[in-house]
Amino acid sequence: MPPRDRPPAPQAAVPHQLWHRLLLCCALLILALPAPSWAARERKVLVLYSLGADSASAWQRLIHKGLSAELADKNLTSVLGVFEERFDAVRVGDEQAQAGMEQYLRTKYAHIQFDAIITENYVAARFLSERPDLFRGVPRHYLNHGRLNWQPPDGTAYQVQADFGRTIGIIPQVAPDVRHVVVIGDSTERMQESVNGVRQVAGDYARQMSFEYWDQLSYAEIFRQAALLRPGSAIFLLPTYHDSTGARRRPVDIARQLAATTQVPIFTNWEAIVVPGVVGGYVVSAERIGRAIAKILMQQPPDIAGIPGYLFDYGAVQRFHLQNIPPTAQWVNRPQSMFEQYLWQILAGATLIVLEGILISALIVALRSRRQTLCALHDERNQLEARVLQRTLELMVANTKLEQLATTDPLTGIGNRRRMTEQINKELERSRRFKHPLSLLMVDIDHFKNVNDIYGHEAGDRAIVAVARALAGGMRNIDMASRFGGEEFVLLMPETDVDVASGAAERLRCDVAALRIEGDNGEQIALTVSIGVAASLPEGPPDSASSLISRADKALYQAKHEGRDRVVSA
């Protein structure tokens, strides 16, 4: 058969079939691959908070701190769209905060399909649970809802259970001298649940401590009675928002004023109340609640049992000489050590030394013929650096000692006039910037010249030292006492208005009146002091150090004129 009459070869169809099979395999492979991260649908979550903004609520600020930290630590596998709304219940009240919120949410989020709704605290939880038609079908998560044995029919509840056994039990552990505990709460139904929880636990400690409950008092009565408490007592402060008159105040403000008023340790079960001067204890951590919210946002199970824990204020623990602090406890307001303060400088120096070592090693390898010379230079440089470092440290120590000598009264060991004047200027600037009150007490020993004339100058010196110790020992860590000259002292009290400062001055006057100084011949010398109080108010005209001292001095002069041994406010 001629070539032109031959049938087509069957092998010609093979490349075409192979191409189709390759395309089919590629399509199956693409379908089997996971969708890229940019193709993932955004997960939208609405978070409802019971309290106000971070700037107005210490609790809310701590929650956001924990939430941000947890989200920053995790490598998210999906995009999060977080929408936040706040009821601001502390400022406007529970009922007023909920009024109109439903219509507001429906209108604002009418075109948004949420994947979940999270509520934090009791006001937001009650609002959402009472409105099953609001965002119907969206999974709901009720966190820290504040109701005992409550299970919502339309969502998941995560309740932080109060362990009053540990909360109260930490008091005799760290303060074994305490024999009397004052429990401060209010008469609301929610707070009475906590008060009753304390009452149930109190029976277990009946042989060690007596309990007194201030849940039917006004704020004025609470602060007045707290100022009268003496060593051997302690305060357990619940997160109280109301008093017996219906007045509303933030718990953190109550804690600050109590710390400025009382001379006994303050324990609590709420992290936001642990401010300078408040001991703390076994508390519910707002920061860990924020981390739990972040876990729910990422569709992970939150660690609810790990939310409570031991938390202590470093300054308050030192002030009241507390002991047996649990090793797992966290500290707040703790001063940094020298290593922590200069950590980055130390790391930078260590890195520089390492880099220098690498460079020197490379030069040694490259220049073998000069090895001995380079090694000698290297040793000399190390010795020089050590000498320079030693000299620098010696200069730092010497400068620190000189600064202490220049600002410390040699007789009493407290600050002198120069140090007090510098501190007043700093605190006045801070008071104007943050709109916080500042009070100053001018103290003078009555009839001090008679002490020197009758009992001798050595007895006079002992009297000045005893008064200085009584004044400094009766103040908070944030306060400052100084000897202004002769028998005159100045006390500076930041974050303190004139009423609280006058109460503190009255307490100090009584402490000095109780002193007895031994004369040169064994006589017992009684002392009294006159105190003038002046305050710089944030909303008033700006004060200078001299004007504030002058007003306190005028009040002191008035106290002297009225008969001495008294407190007069400018």
pLDDT digits (tens, 9 = 90+) for 394-449: 777 766 677 667 789 999 999 999 999 999 999 999 999 988 999 999 999 999 99
242-282 pLDDT per residue, tens:
898 988 888 999 999 999 999 999 999 999 899 999 999 99
**231: DSSP letter:** B
Q: What is the pLDDT of residue 384?
A: 84
Cβ(94)–Cβ(123) under 8 Å? Answer: yes
Nearest to 235 by CA among 187, 269, 192: 269
Cβ(131)–Cβ(92) under 8 Å? Answer: no
62-98 as b/e: b if 16+ CB within 10 A: bbbebbeebbeeeeeeeeeeeeeebbbbbeebbeebb
| 3-state class (DSSP) for residue 430 | helix
User: Which amino acid type is present at position 181?
Assistant: V
461-490 pLDDT per residue, tens:
999 999 999 999 999 999 999 999 899 999
Query: Which whole number is the average pLDDT over 213-225?
Result: 94
Q: In which order are the strands placed within the sheet that holds 156-158?
A: 80-86, 43-49, 116-120, 140-143, 156-158
Query: Which whole number is the average pLDDT over 116-120?
Result: 91
Residues 152, 133: Cα–Cα separation, whole Å: 14
Using pLDDT thresholds of 50, 70 and 90, give the confidence band for residue 19: low
Q: What is the pLDDT of residue 527?
A: 95
pLDDT for 546 beyond 70? yes
Residues 244, 223: Cα–Cα separation, whole Å: 13
Using pLDDT thresholds of 50, 70 and 90, give the confidence band for residue 336: confident
559-569 pLDDT per residue, tens:
999 999 999 99
482-505 pLDDT per residue, tens:
999 899 999 999 999 999 999 999
Q: What is the pLDDT of residue 517?
A: 92
> Residue 319: CB partners within 8 Å, gap ≥ 6?
277, 476, 477
Cβ(286)–Cβ(248) under 8 Å? Answer: no
Q: In which order are the strands placed within the sheet that holds 438-445?
A: 480-485, 488-494, 438-445, 529-536, 567-569
Instruction: Based on DSSP, count helices (H) and strands (E) in the chain, helices before strands.
Output: 20, 19
Half-sphere exposure of residue 275, counting CA atoms within 13 Å on the CB side?
19
pLDDT for 7 beyond 50? no
pLDDT top residue among 96 and 289: 289
Q: What is the pLDDT of residue 230?
A: 94
- Calculated CA dihedral for residues 533, 538, 541, 546, nearest 10 degrees: 40
Helices (H), 33-93: 58-73, 89-92
Using pLDDT thresholds of 50, 70 and 90, give the confidence band for residue 12: very low
pLDDT for 145 beyond 90? no
Residues in the chain: 570
Query: Which whole number is the average pLDDT over 502-520?
Result: 93
Q: What is the pLDDT of residue 91?
A: 73
Using pLDDT thresholds of 50, 70 and 90, give the confidence band for residue 16: low
Cβ(234)–Cβ(265) under 8 Å? Answer: yes
pLDDT for 228 beyond 80? yes
Nearest to 70 by CA among 226, 297, 244, 232: 297
Cβ(114)–Cβ(45) under 8 Å? Answer: yes
Residues 214, 466: Cα–Cα separation, whole Å: 36
Query: Which whole number is the average pLDDT over 121-142?
Result: 90
pLDDT for 232 beyond 70? yes
What is the number of other CB atoms lying within 10 angstroms of the CB of residue 431?
21
Q: What is the pLDDT of residue 13?
A: 42
pLDDT for 189 beyond 60? yes
| 3-state class (DSSP) for residue 121 | coil
> Residue 251: CB partners within 8 Å, gap ≥ 6?
237, 239, 240, 241, 270, 272, 273
Half-sphere exposure of residue 507, counting CA atoms within 13 Å on the CB side?
23
What value does the mean pLDDT of the chain take?
A: 86
Using pLDDT thresholds of 50, 70 and 90, give the confidence band for residue 4: very low
Lowest mean pLDDT among 118-127, 363-372, 391-400, 487-496: 391-400
Cβ(264)–Cβ(229) under 8 Å? Answer: yes
Specify the pTM: 0.53
pLDDT for 30 beyond 60? no
For the chain, what percent of residues have pLDDT higher than 70?
89
pLDDT for 31 beyond 60? no
Cα dist from 319 to 271, 278, 314, 326, whole Å: 20, 10, 9, 18
Query: Which whole number is the average pLDDT over 43-64?
Result: 84
For the chain, what percent of residues have pLDDT higher than 90?
51
Q: How is residue 534 written in tokens?
A: 């002046």
Using pLDDT thresholds of 50, 70 and 90, give the confidence band for residue 20: low
Q: What is the pLDDT of residue 10?
A: 45
Q: What is the pLDDT of residue 25?
A: 55
